[in-house]
Amino acid sequence: MITADLLKQVPLFAATPDEERAQIAARAADLHLRAGEWLLQEGELPAFFVLLEGRMEVLKRIGEQDQRLTVYQPGEYFGEVPLLLGSPAIASLRADVTSRVLRLEPEDFRDLVSACPVFAEEVVRTMTRRVQSLQRLSVEAPPTPVTVVGSRWDLACHDVRDFLSRNHVPYRWLDPGDGAGGDPRARLAPGEAYPLVIAPDGRRASAPSLRALAEHVGLQTRPRAGRADEPYDVLIVGGGPAGMAAAVYGASEGLCTALVERVAVGGQAGTSSRIENYLGFPSGLSGGELSARAWQQARRFGAEMVVARGVTGLGVEDGLRWVSLDGGERIHSHAIVLACGVVWRRLNAPGVDGLVGRGVYYGAARTEALGTRGKQVFLVGGGNSAGQAAMLFSGYAGEVTLLVRGPSLEAGMSQYLVDQLATKANVRVETGKEVVEVEGDGHLQAIVVADRGTGRRERREAAALFVLIGADAETKWMPPALVRDELGYVCTGRDVMDLLAARQAEWPLPRDPYLLETSVPGVFAAGDVRHGSIKRVASGVGEGSMAIAFVHQYLAQAG
Ligand SMILES: Cc1cc2nc3c(=O)[nH]c(=O)nc-3n(C[C@H](O)[C@H](O)[C@H](O)COP(=O)(O)OP(=O)(O)OC[C@H]3O[C@@H](n4cnc5c(N)ncnc54)[C@H](O)[C@@H]3O)c2cc1C
């Protein structure tokens, strides 16, 4: 318990009159933290803290790493800068050793600052010093990020840039075709090939696979546990909203949790330029921001986040479930949540396959946005994802043409996006049109567009073509015992019983499957990959968290 006598020994309160010390003591919380426990996370609303005993690390997330900015010692205090500026915390605080901290809620702190001039003067002096040191930090040279060297028209270079940005790894890109900015490090050494990836410490990786690239920049690509004698409680396949929600709920509820993601956390939502309808974000948030926050949250609760690894098989052995990863390892777990979403449907037109990544892109490919500056770009699709992408590119391209097969935009797109597009002078919408051919020598140069009503074809010059024509489940790697519908979506709950009955197969347990349980007991499905799902960020998040509730029930019942 915090007492007025205890406060007297803290330099900050030494000159405070006795009656004010008593008031502060009455309002202060007494926090005891174990080593490694978080007091505050970057981005959260702060409180005012005084370190009474122990040591507190100040950490800032830069790229993939938590970098230690400083360490507070007993008697030091913090939180006043964001509190007085009304901003979220700009760094995180974590106990370095067992520590004791006094906490004042924002209202109490503000009351105290206005009621106690001696205290206020000391706090404002410290705040000024800290803001000045932040200003100094911001003008100092930033750390060198990862450097990528490769051609704009090289698919492998596009994949490297896309992978880094979706994994929130900052990088600068040099194109040898533009002289690579005269940087001597961009020249190939004997045996090297483009794309070349140079780590901040100078290590070079030549034409790396995605997994090698992930390891090169310090991302986790191997689960730490998962042997048959050390299984996870729950293993999640896929890092979109559904998978990340399962990871956050699983780890926060004490389950030993790992998530395996083929490319980068965020899934489809991570490629969205602005999600405007997610509860609690009245001015919207980008998919990148949502996934970065969720990733941080899952890691904070202790979930392992393994990226650049695809799951290629699944089975049951000796009462445990397992998945196999590309590259061969088997990872064991008591329960599995399949949250592997859907993948973009391919455009079936001559010339497309040879130009993917060389001017033709599936999805919004936000890494390409800068490269479209002032140019003529085309988007194919009439859904919300195409609408959002058109909004994004309208900020860069000279002209954005949205080609829609159907007779109107309203049929497939939310009204708010239709209205937003109408305000953009450089966005044209053409309905009843489809792309029937693409042309280019090494990179896209033109597309052929057909009018579905008249059949008339027209050749148009194009710098980029973005294809957003819906998505399908990709579940061929799953075993036959895992029942799917005719389109490959995974069946759960009541649908499992109906489909099993139709196939004259049997559910093996005396109880019915749980709502999100598949035909393999202990394997659950959540989000877009699930038969009958709603295909929204919020429903994916909801199902991911529900799946964990069923995992608990399954584990309790399985003993
Ligand atoms: C451009 C765009 C904009 C959108 N905007 C909105 C919006 O504004 N509001 C809204 O509510 N919804 C929006 N959506 C829909 C929403 O993003 C999806 O419904 C949601 O992302 C589905 O989440 P999910 O976790 O089920 O699957 P996904 O987001 O598809 O994630 C699945 C993940 O699993 C990974 N994966 C797949 N197979 C494997 C495997 N075998 N091994 C390992 N990993 C694997 C994939 O790489 C992927 O990262 C948008 C979608 C797109 C494409």
Locate the domains of the chain by residue range.
4-139, 146-216, 232-342+473-558, 353-470
- Ligand 1 centroid vs 518 CA: distance in angstroms? 20
Give every CB contact of residue 419 below 8 A, 6+ residues apart in sequence.
none
Residue among 256, 264, 194 at smallest CA distance from 227: 256
| Distances from the Cα of 137 to the Cα of 27, 56, 520, angstroms | 35, 21, 54
Please check whether residue 233 is in contact with residue 255, taking contact to mean a CB–CB distance below 8 angstroms: yes
One-character DSSP codes across 140-156:
SPPPP-EEEE--TT-HH
Task: Select from 307, 336, 340 the residue to mutate for testing ligand 1; criterion: most ligand atoms less than 8 Å from CB.
Answer: 340
Q: 146-216 is classed in which CATH architecture?
A: 3-Layer(aba) Sandwich (3.40)
Return the CATH fold of 4-139.
Jelly Rolls (2.60.120)
| pLDDT value, residue 20 | 81
**How far, in Å, is the centroid of ligand 1 from the Cα of 163?**
16
* CA atoms within 13 Å, Cβ hemisphere of 95: 20
Asked if residue 380 lies in contact with residue 363, where contact means CB atoms within 8 angstroms, the answer is no
For residue 470, how many other CB atoms are within 10 A of its CB? 14
Ligand 1 lining (C-beta closer than 6 Å): 237-243, 260-263, 267-269, 271-272, 275-277, 310-311, 339-342, 364, 384-385, 388, 527-528, 535-538, 540
Splitting the chain (559 residues) into consecutive groups of 10 residues, what average pLDDT does each group show? Answer: 88 83 86 88 84 92 72 91 82 92 88 81 84 71 80 90 90 84 84 94 95 95 95 98 98 97 92 85 85 90 96 96 95 98 94 91 82 93 93 93 95 92 95 96 94 96 95 95 95 92 88 97 98 94 98 92
pLDDT at 541: 98
How much is the pLDDT for 142? Answer: 60
CA–CA distance, 37 with 40 (Å, rounded to integer): 9
What is the structure's pLDDT at 143? Answer: 64
CB 202 within 8 A of CB 493: no
DSSP 8-state code for residue 345: P
Q: Which CATH superfamily is domain 232-342+473-558 in?
A: FAD/NAD(P)-binding domain (3.50.50.60)
Check for a shared fold between 232-342+473-558 and 353-470: yes
Q: Whose CA is nearest to atom 30 of ligand 1?
A: 341
* 493 contacts 500 by C-beta, under 8 angstroms: no
d(CA 387, CA 336): 35
Dihedral of alpha carbons 422, 428, 432, 437, sign: negative
Distance 341 CA to ligand 1 centre (A): 5
Between CA 289 and CA 229, with CA 326 as vertex, the angle to 5 degrees is 95
Q: How far is CA 415 from the centre of its chain?
A: 27
Cα radius of gyration rounded to whole Å, the chain: 27
Structure-token pair, residue 147:
């450097």
Question: Angle of helix 287-300 relative to helix 155-166, nearest 10 degrees?
Answer: 60
Query: Could you tell me the distance, in angstroms and rounded to a whole number, from the CA of residue 159 to the centre of ligand 1?
Result: 18
Q: Which amino acid is at 182?
A: G
Q: Relative to the CA of 309, which ligand 1 atom is closest?
A: 43
Cα(551) to ligand 1 centroid in Å equals 22
| CATH superfamily, domain at 353-470 | FAD/NAD(P)-binding domain (3.50.50.60)
List, in order, residues 6 or more apart from 4 with CB less than 8 Å away: 18, 21, 22, 24, 25
What's the CA-to-centroid distance between 481 and ligand 1, angstroms? 25
Buried b (16+ CB within 10 A) or exposed e, 147-171: bbbbbbbbbbbbbbbbbbbbbbbbb
Ligand 1 atom nearest 260 alpha carbon: 43
Tokens representing 31 are 């926090």
Residue 190 CB neighbour total at 10 angstroms:
4
What integer pLDDT is reported at residue 141 of this predicted model?
56
